[in-house]
Structure 1
Amino acid sequence: MHPIYNGVPADRLKVVWTKSSWSNPDGNCVEVAELPGGDIAVRNSRDPEGPALVYTPAEIRAFVRGAKTGEFDALID
């Protein structure tokens, strides 16, 4: 297994990727996967061989909480 780091080519990760049910038909979405050890990888669904970003569970929890409470709404308005 190759080392796992931010920017690792996503196709090197032997994981099951999950795409949001909110993804549009053009495939403009991110996909996530749990890594061995519990970290979470994120990739662009349009570039499945491109780089993956790797986050800890605490980082993902903080992001999801922020998204749910509207902290990032100004980015899309």
Structure 2
Amino acid sequence: MTHHPKPDPACLDLTQVHWVVSSHSGGGGDCVMMGTAAGHVLIGDTKNPSHTPLVFTPSKIRSFLRGVREGELDHFTSTG
């Protein structure tokens, strides 16, 4: 496995990132967007696209998404 040091998000050329927004977002501009740069996954906010995105390794994102799919994080979205 190749280790990629985590890049400084402030040094990434974000103009070259192809951002993806979920089709489930409803298009209201209050969404999470994801893209890739320097071998890492970026997570940004569509309402504040000029803000520095969060940067994660692909393995961290895979673990996070697995947890979401398996319902491990459902309690964060409950309104009760």
User: After superposition, where does 1:45-60 map in structure 2 within 5 Å?
Assistant: 45-60=46-61
Per the alignment, in what secondary structure is the counterpart of residue 23 of structure 2?
A: coil
One-letter amino acid of the structure 2 residue matched with residue 18 of structure 1:
V
1:8-58: per-residue Cα shift (whole Å, max 9, x none)?
388x4121111111112321111111113x210110011111120000001
Higher helix share: 2
1:70 deviates by: 0.3
Per the alignment, in what secondary structure is the counterpart of residue 63 of structure 2?
A: helix
> Within the alignment, does 1:30 sit opposite 2:32 as a pair?
yes
Unmatched tracts of structure 2, length 5 or more: 1-6
Per the alignment, in what secondary structure is the counterpart of residue 51 of structure 1?
A: coil
Per the alignment, in what secondary structure is the counterpart of residue 48 of structure 1?
A: coil
TM-score (structure 2 length as normaliser) = 0.78
- Preserved contact between residue 9 and residue 49 of structure 1 (Cα < 8 Å): no
Q: Which has the higher Rg, Structure 1 or Structure 2?
A: 2
TM-score (structure 1 length as normaliser) = 0.81
Q: How many residues align?
A: 71
- Sequence identity (%): 32
Question: Greater RCO between the two (CA within 8 Å, min separation 6)?
Answer: 1
- Regions of 4+ moved over 3 Å: none
Unmatched tracts of structure 1, length 5 or more: none
CA RMSD of aligned residues (A): 1.8
